[in-house]
Structure 1
Amino acid sequence: MHPNEEVLETFYSAFKAHDPEKMTACYGKNITFTDPAFGNIKGDRARAMWFMLIERGGSNLEINYSDIQANDYNGSAKWTATYLFGPKKRKVVNHVVGTFYFQNGKILQHTDHFNLWRWSRQAIGFKGLILGWSNAMKLKIQQQSSKSLSGYLQNMRSFKEEAS
């Protein structure tokens, strides 16, 4: 197994085990993450996203992965997340292809590719079915994701300050 395949195996086995610390240890300091729901996020925001998603998914979050491939420079993996989303607890089954660029044994860039319309139909319901294909809905989803992540980070900071 190539060393970068081992990095991806560690990343996804940690995701499956709901261990965001081990996942994000696979990321380089200046990680760039991109997907249809969050857009482009970097550094600590990208790392915090995994903590937030795992925490919010709780025991309902199920991760499966396959087809890990990597060489000295790039790699890919297929994965599926099954979870309940939002206040209405809608079941989402999201099929994703992750692509990666590596540097010095760490993930430098991580891009998750999935069908946002399919996701929005499951997660949002009728509005997602009708509008999930549109750029306006994509922008709204990214804005809401960014707002949720910012709130999560603020709560983490407040918790750390109180614990000090």
Structure 2
Amino acid sequence: MSADAIRRFYSAFARLDGAAMQAAYAPDASFEDEVFTLQGRPQIGGMWRMLCDATKAKGRDVWRLEASAVTDRSAHWEAHYRFSATGRLVHNIIEAEFELGRDGLIRRHRDRFNFWRWSRQALGTPGVLLGWTPMLRNGVRAQAAKNLEAFLAKHPN
């Protein structure tokens, strides 16, 4: 297992290459963060393709990704982007955990970030007032799942 696979993944992300990011996952991989819980390369890759496409369409001008402390099991990464739903600028700080297979593909990926910090930036006043509540988090999760379902219907892998 090699940290090079993780570096290649973040290099693809920096280029907003969702297809290359999708190819980095094993067919039966799992992904989880504060918004998504996904199973399998099609769902996970669909999420990355959707996010990359949204950034290309509405925020390439401010897009920046910095990955550091990359090992074969973890990475620290920071994304600077325009949240497509609101147009607000976000600087998200993420700690990632990975499990790679012998083939170098990602089998398990877990990103952790401060949801309240993210929601204050991405959503403005609603995030400030309600970002710490399960109600807002569940609403964001439901909307994200709906968006991903619609994206996958239009753009199957």
Q: Judge same fold: TM > 0.5, yes or no.
A: yes
Q: Give the drift of 1:41.
A: 0.7
Q: Give yes or no for contact 1:102–1:108 (8 Å, CA) kept in 2.
A: yes
Selected match of 1:88 from 80, 86, 92: 86
Distance 1:25 1:155 in 2: 19
**Which amino acid counterpart does residue 109 of structure 2 have in structure 1?**
H
4+ runs of 1 displaced by more than 6 Å? Answer: none
Q: Give yes or no for contact 1:54–1:61 (8 Å, CA) kept in 2.
A: no
Distance 2:152 2:16 in 1: 18
Map 1:30-109 onto structure 2 (within 5 A): 30-38=28-36, 40-43=37-40, 44-58=42-56, 59=60, 60-70=62-72, 75-104=73-102, 105-109=104-108
Q: Give the drift of 1:152.
A: 0.7
Q: Give yes or no for contact 2:55–2:84 (8 Å, CA) kept in 1.
A: no
Percent identity of paired positions between Structure 1 and Structure 2: 33
Pairwise CA RMSD: 1.4
Q: Give the drift of 1:69.
A: 1.2
1:115 aligns with 2:114: yes
Distance 1:87 1:65 in 2: 25
Distance 1:153 1:23 in 2: 16
| Structure-2-length-normalised TM-score | 0.91
Which stretch of structure 1 is more off in the superposition, 43-52 or 14-23? 14-23
Deviation string, structure 1 residues 26-74 (Cα, Å, up to 9, x no partner): 1111110000022x1111111100000001011242211100012xxxx
| Structure-1-length-normalised TM-score | 0.87
SS in 1 for 2:71: strand
**Which amino acid counterpart does residue 23 of structure 1 have in structure 2?**
M
Q: Give the drift of 1:87.
A: 4.3
Distance 1:21 1:136 in 2: 33
Distance 1:66 1:5 in 2: 11
The change in CA–CA distance for 1:140 and 1:87 in structure 2 (over 3 A counts) is closer
SS in 1 for 2:94: strand
Unpaired segments ≥5 residues, structure 1: none
**Which amino acid counterpart does residue 122 of structure 1 have in structure 2?**
Q
Larger Rg: 1
> When you count strand as a share of all residues, which structure comes out higher?
1
